[in-house]
Chain A
């Protein structure tokens, strides 16, 4: 098995795993980072969304073989004290219901705002369409993203 070294939430990790194991299961089963969730395994639901080199990706689709040298951020790396503006906004808008998809929702929103803090409604739609929520929290997600945009632009909250 090939060894791969990469960064997860700022820490260097080196693992020896089969080439085809997806990043999702590397995180959950081998690094015990359980904040990233399994939903569909085929890139349809987005609840496993994490950042790979700053981009929102569905971790169930990224094989171990492609991880050498990459930089991964999971919900645990966003902030553990909910101080990230997207997390703050999520709390202010009382977004979660069951909460299972919310790591994926938050990581998708955070990646969007890193790249484009003033994303337009259609850019928000495009980014957030990739993450499903069966509880139906979309309206609050939308409000929270707008609130996060305000926190970033008016109060200078760091992403």
Chain B
């Protein structure tokens, strides 16, 4: 397929030692299909550099938090550039306006880079061919490429890309490029090993809290025990007696204890005597929250209507065959293995930050806002050019799942460095990390349906509430003539934020649990029931793939039961079958999860499998293990002993089937999470006849 290159989209920058190609794109994300752009600012977004030794360096503006983005995005460049995979290097970009708004979330990295990165590779290849043709004084058509070399088809002479970069630097950008058809892909579609595996296996990978800066001190922060309570006074005399403690300071978020090493800072933090004021939030506990959710859910007059198809309320009121359920999902923590951390060095109006962040752009803004005087900030706002004073390096992230979309840790590290006038490495203790999370919010849902004489739904009414509650993923894939979705958010001072799969997590749980209840009420097989209600071929395909592979409806080992669920989110279709048994104490043992995903063209099938395994484990932890509760205005849980996550021995066998597709790639980081919870809950019903109306499932 041919793609036109707009001069405003692509900008070639040449240098003596290497050829670089920068793609310019507007600051906002573009649709992957849009290859010619009109309005908006244009600034380089992705850099591709070839040096004399044929090494191709791809600078990735996304964040690497385990999802494999360094590798997958590089594969797309290598595919069209036609280079040797061994010659590819990937590096993380610092935060810079030229990359547009740098934020990695919503499973969008592949979607937003699919066309533009392949175009970058193809344009560079075309320039290199032109350079060789010029040197050999032949036509472009008389040249071809193979793994980093241009071949003269008349003489079989060969020039490596590295040998061509000087000539290439003088060649203008091509006006259009041709991108390969799927059948011609060499790297795309292959399980290419990750570029970052070797350094993650020998301990050399540098995460945020592995950044060593000369003369840096280590800091930790004591946060309010009751949400938002203020500090009336503090006495640091006991803390300062700890050898190694250098400073005890108040910052906006709490009391920072700074020391020569982490252990001294931690010991010092335990000894700061703080008088906390303003404890009005200590009334917040789990019962208080549940009560507020219930009141808000019942007070339908104040609800916003999100979808209103037909007359769901009237049909249900007038029907003889109805069904009603309520579901509650609690707060959840991210609990990445790497606790919150950030390294910062403020020097006057300048600041350098090393942060494991999903949002380099916002993290840099936060650093600027905490570093600079009012006048410097105004100057920056007006001129928008003095960007050199703040540097933000994006480090490898040791797990995030949405948590590191926040910038609270950047704020803290920069404030501390500014106060002590030294570089500082902030490291939160695990207890601070769990208790000061931006939690996945608790939600309460009421579902009602009316069924026709054949047992299929003719009306569906979903009411929901929670902090930042949304209906993404609640819009039904099922053909039902009367649908109403309505709800209202509650307001609480608990910090909440995105958590792997966000609102799709709770909406898929209630939708896929309730549809299973309706199937059971109508005594129809859950697969057959769903197939009768859908017509989207991609959904039908993943359902058939997964149930066939999992031997749905077939003979299972004694005491084993299956549950089915499906969900579309982040562009991808997923269906899962969970196979469980019950242990002697009635708790659930998950033996196997079979999953089918249609994520468009599978760029790296091994990464898709890894992300599905990861998403399923993440969902299983929430379905079987931990939750966050509140008491006296404080989260109760503090570490992995009371916020447990799935362990090695609890790992089921996971088998992922990737649907064949010719469509553009879709999300893979999050789509596997939403349907595992309901698949487990539905299997639990098959095993016990009992419905799970909450996660984690209460089995006792």
Contacts and interface: CB of A to CB of B under 8 A. Distances in A.
A47 to B, nearest CB: 5
B399 A75 contact: no
A136 B68 contact: no
A98 B201 contact: no
A94 B605 CA distance: 12
Contacts of B645: 132, 134
Interface in A104-155: 106, 125-126, 128-129, 131-142
Contacts of A30: 261
Contacts of B647: 129, 132, 138
Given A29-B218, A38-B427, A96-B201, A131 B648 contact: yes
B570 to A, nearest CB: 17
A11 interface: no
Nearest to A88: B201
B613 A140 contact: yes
Interface string B173-208: 000000000000000000101101111111111110
A41 B266 CA distance: 11
B209 A38 contact: yes
A91 B198 contact: yes
A141 B613 contact: no
A98 B336 contact: yes
Given A132-B640, A136-B618, A28 B203 contact: no
Nearest to B642: A44
Which of B200, B429, B651 has the largest count of A CB atoms less than 10 A from its CB? B200
A42 B654 CA distance: 30
Contact of A99 (B200, B335, B639): B200
Contacts of B68: 97
Contacts of A36: 203
Given A138-B617, A138-B651, A96 B203 contact: no
A99 B71 CA distance: 14
A55 interface: no
Given A25-B262, A98-B397, A138-B651, 15 more contacts: A29-B263, A34-B212, A38-B427, A40-B639, A98-B400, A99-B200, A132-B640, A133-B617, A134-B336, A135-B337, A138-B617, A138-B647, A138-B648, A139-B613, A142-B651
Contacts of B610: 94, 97, 137, 140
A100 B337 contact: yes
B202 A87 contact: yes
A41 B429 contact: yes
A39 interface: yes
Nearest to B336: A134
Which of A45, A87, A139 has the largest count of B CB atoms less than 10 A from its CB? A139
A42 B651 CA distance: 23
Contacts of A82: 198, 201-202
A18 interface: yes
Interface of B: 65-68, 191, 193-194, 196-207, 209-210, 212, 218, 243, 261-263, 266-267, 335-339, 396-401, 427, 429-430, 606, 610, 613-618, 621, 639-641, 645-649, 651, 653-654
Nearest to B266: A41
B245 to A, nearest CB: 12
10 contacts: A36-B203, A37-B337, A39-B339, A80-B204, A87-B201, A95-B201, A128-B648, A129-B649, A132-B640, A136-B616
Nearest to B647: A129
Contacts of B613: 136-137, 139-140
B613 to A, nearest CB: 5
Contacts of A38: 209, 262, 339, 427
A88 to B, nearest CB: 9
B173 to A, nearest CB: 36
Nearest to B261: A29
Interface string A29-69: 11010111111111011010000000000000000000000
Contacts of A136: 613-618, 646, 651
A41 B202 CA distance: 22
B337 A39 contact: yes
Given A91-B193, A100-B207, A125 B263 contact: no
A113 to B, nearest CB: 15
Nearest to B641: A44
A38 B266 CA distance: 13
Contacts of A133: 337, 617
A96 B197 contact: yes
B430 A96 contact: no
A101 interface: yes
B376 to A, nearest CB: 34
A47 B610 CA distance: 20
Interface string A1-45: 000000000000000001011100100111010111111111011
A45 B647 CA distance: 10
Given A100-B399, A136-B617, A75 B651 contact: no
B67 A97 contact: yes
A87 B616 CA distance: 25
B648 A142 contact: yes
A21 B244 CA distance: 12
Given A22-B263, A30-B261, A96 B202 contact: no
B104 to A, nearest CB: 13
A51 B197 CA distance: 22
Contacts of B430: 39-42, 45
A9 to B, nearest CB: 11
A99 B654 contact: no
Contacts of A141: 648
Contacts of B65: 98
